[in-house]
A and B are shown apart, each in its own frame.
Chain A
Amino acid sequence: MATQGLTTDLPVLGRLRRQGLMVGAAGLILGAIGAFAQPDQFMPAWLIGFTFCLGLSLGCLAMLMIQHMSGGRWGLVARRVFEAGSRLLPYCLLLYIPIGVMLPKLYIWARPAAVQADHILVLKQPYLNVPFALVRAAIYFGVWIFCMWHLNRWSVRQDRGEVAVTPADMRRFRVISAPGLLAYVILMTFASVDWLMSLDPRWYSTIFGFIVVVGQGLAALSLAAVSLALLAPYDPLARYLKPVHVHDIGKLTLAFVMLWAYMSFSQFLIIWAGNLPEEIPFYLVRMRSGWQYVSLLLALGHFALPFCLLLSRDLKRHPRLLARVALFILAMRLLDLIWIVAPNFNQNGFPIHWMDVSIPVGLAGVWVFLFAAAGH
């Protein structure tokens, strides 16, 4: 199974590559035009695209490590998908470079004049400053790519038959995965502060990192559901994939949809009940000037609708139906990231700028192209 997955080039992957490339090119050309027309909108949109692609890759890495720790048949069929997704972490690092260079464009704390004018920002400067932020980014990517590289390298060796698949050999995957999972969650919590939460440096929420982590896991599971539905008619998956495998992925997707809602609502409830001047502006901004409809759409589309659909056992066992729900969830993941990032830059007028959609979709298109190319 494994060796064939590495060597065969399925027509569906070729189609996926072409589609990814076309969508990527279209989105990025639109983005390039936008960069000249409205340069201020470019970096926020790029940040949304970066966090979306990073969510796919890191979610895949996390699921891969969970799979190595827990075992189970869901992980067996989805492992190639997670491996292929995690291998795109260097692409995400590439996407981070413009952000690292343009930090002052995105973050108030990276502008010395603005920091001097605000006493709270001066106090936060030991953590929120440009050199330390870049060092932290290097550490995050270093650890993640280290885990990804080893897990993939050993897996390829097993596929080529260079090492026997013995319990002793499988132990090496766990030796990386156990501390890797811990490191991933801790580092991603810091990264979500650096890249998303500190867009509004006065706001804080202790559960925010977990919301981002759960969103990444959900993105990876949705990706797995879509990939399995695409690959199901072809060998080698056609011989192995059974409704129980799809059912397992569906159940995990439902669990992550609920977990996301649980954490997002916890954040909202605590901030709403506390009503403190440092915390509440995050929601006040998202409850007016058009953003309230986006918030409502998220509550319905990111939770209520997929939750009700995924309750159905028959839907969870049907690869193509599950894939449609998963695609919808992926769209909602993008909307969630837009909802987190964009209000910091675009508080008047129409809530979502067209570049906030076109650039992330373009970057995700390139991600899908590389993902389909990584399959062989």
Chain B
Amino acid sequence: MADPALHGVLAEFDNPTSLLNAAHKAREAGYRDLDAFTPYPIEEISDAIGFHDRRLSKIVLGGGLAGMLAGYGLQYWVHAVTYPINVAGKPPNSWPQFVPVTFELTILFSALAAVIGMIVLNGLPMPYHPVFNVPRFSNASRDRFFLLVEATDPKFDRKQTMDFLKTLQAREVSEVEP
């Protein structure tokens, strides 16, 4: 049952392997609302906690396509419509010449879309997050790996979940105040 008095339960691990193992076990046990915190990116973790949000890829693709159109459109408008100049006898709409800028703007727009999209989807800036109520959590940016089971999980139960996480070689398991 969901427990409104808690944000969730946080388990601390020494190394990424135990974290990955614990995340897999938690998924197998039926937990769904999981989150993980690590000092450096671990590629496999998103699969392990069952994170399948692909919205960011679509935002980046959209940004890239917008940049492509903007880059080509800008050059076409300047060179072929408003201010055509004869350069070395080449036609005003010389697509080979337009490719570098089109390419650069594609990259620029997709990069901006990736950063801004990531910030928006993560809900940043976020001045308050309950996990920081656990004092040891500051180690997540140093040398510890954390797995959070959120209280919104249908299978969540204060005691059972804590006991379950303790069986996964967690170094420490703590409750997270909301």
A residues touching B (Cβ–Cβ < 8 Å)? 244, 265, 268-269, 272-273, 275
Q: Given A244-B43, A244-B44: A275 and B88 within 8 A (CB)?
A: yes
The one of A244, A269, A275 that contacts B99, using a Cβ cutoff of 8 Å: A269
Q: How many A-B residue pairs have CB under 8 A?
A: 13
Q: Are B44 and A272 in contact (CB under 8 A)?
A: no
Residues of B within 8 A of A269 (CB): 96-97, 99-100
Closest to A262 in B: B103
Q: Which chain B residues border A272 with CB–CB below 8 Å? A: 96
Which residue in chain B gives the minimum CB-CB distance to A274?
Answer: B88
Residue of B nearest to A273 (CB): B97
Q: Chain B contacts of A244 at CB under 8 A?
A: 43-44
Query: Closest approach, in angstroms, between the C-beta of A114 and any C-beta of chain B?
Result: 33
Q: Which residues of B are found within 8 Å of A265, using beta-carbon distances?
A: 99
Distance, CA A14 to CA B99, complexed state (A)? 47
Q: How far is the CB of B72 from chain A (nearest CB, A)?
A: 15
A62 CB → nearest B CB, Å: 26
Interface residues of B (CB under 8 A from A): 43-44, 88, 96-97, 99-100
Distance in Å from the Cβ of A149 to the closest Cβ of chain B?
Answer: 36
- Name the residue of chain B whose CB is nearest to the CB of A272: B96
**Bound-state Cα–Cα, A272 to B96, Å:** 8
Chain B nearest CB from A252 CB (Å) reads 15
CB-CB nearest in chain A for B61: A311
Closest 4 CB pairs of A and B: A272-B96, A269-B96, A275-B88, A273-B97
Chain A residues within 8 Å of B100, by CB: 269
Name the residue of chain A whose CB is nearest to the CB of B97: A273
Contact A273 B96 (CB under 8 A): yes
Shortest beta-carbon distance from B66 to chain A in Å: 17
For A268, list chain B residues within 8 Å (CB).
Answer: 96
Provide a sorted-by-A list of 13 A–B residue pairs whose CB atoms are within 8 angstroms. A244-B43, A244-B44, A265-B99, A268-B96, A269-B96, A269-B97, A269-B99, A269-B100, A272-B96, A273-B88, A273-B96, A273-B97, A275-B88
A265 CA to B39 CA in the complex, in Å?
A: 41
| A265 to B97 CA separation, bound complex (whole angstroms) | 11
Kindly list 5 other residue pairs between chains A and B, CB separation below 8 angstroms, not including A268-B96, A269-B97: A269-B99, A269-B100, A273-B88, A273-B96, A273-B97
Q: Which residues of B contact A273 (CB under 8 A)?
A: 88, 96-97
Q: How far is the CA of A269 from the CA of B98 in the complex (A)?
A: 10
> Whole-angstrom distance between the alpha carbons of A116 and B33 in the complex?
81
CA distance A308 to B115 in the complex (A): 22
A322–B99 Cα distance when bound, in Å, is 29
Q: Select from chain B the residue with minimum beta-carbon distance to A269.
A: B96
In the assembled complex, which residues on chain B have CB atoms less than 8 Å from the CB atom of A275? 88
The complex places the Cα of A249 from the Cα of B69 at a distance, in Å, of 31
A-chain residues with CB within 8 Å of residue B99 when the two chains form the complex: 265, 269
Distance in Å: Cβ of B48 to nearest Cβ of chain A: 12
* Chain B residue nearest to A312 in the complex (CB): B57
Min CB–CB distance A356 → chain B (angstroms): 27
Q: How far is the CA of A154 from the CA of B100 in the complex (A)?
A: 45
CA distance A269 to B97 in the complex (A): 7
* B38 CB → nearest A CB, Å: 17
The chain B residue sitting closest to A271, CB to CB, is B96
Please give me the residue from chain A that is nearest to B54 by CB atom.
Answer: A313
CA distance A273 to B88 in the complex (A): 8
Minimum CB–CB distance from B82 to chain A (whole Å) comes to 22
Query: Cα distance A265–B98 when bound, in Å?
Result: 12
Closest chain A CB from B83 CB (angstroms) = 19
Chain A residues in 8 Å Cβ range of B88: 273, 275
Cα A273 to Cα B97 in complex, Å, equals: 8
Question: Which residue of chain B has its CB nearest to the CB of A268?
Answer: B96
Looking at the assembled complex, report how far the CB atom of A76 sits from the nearest CB atom of chain B, in whole angstroms: 16
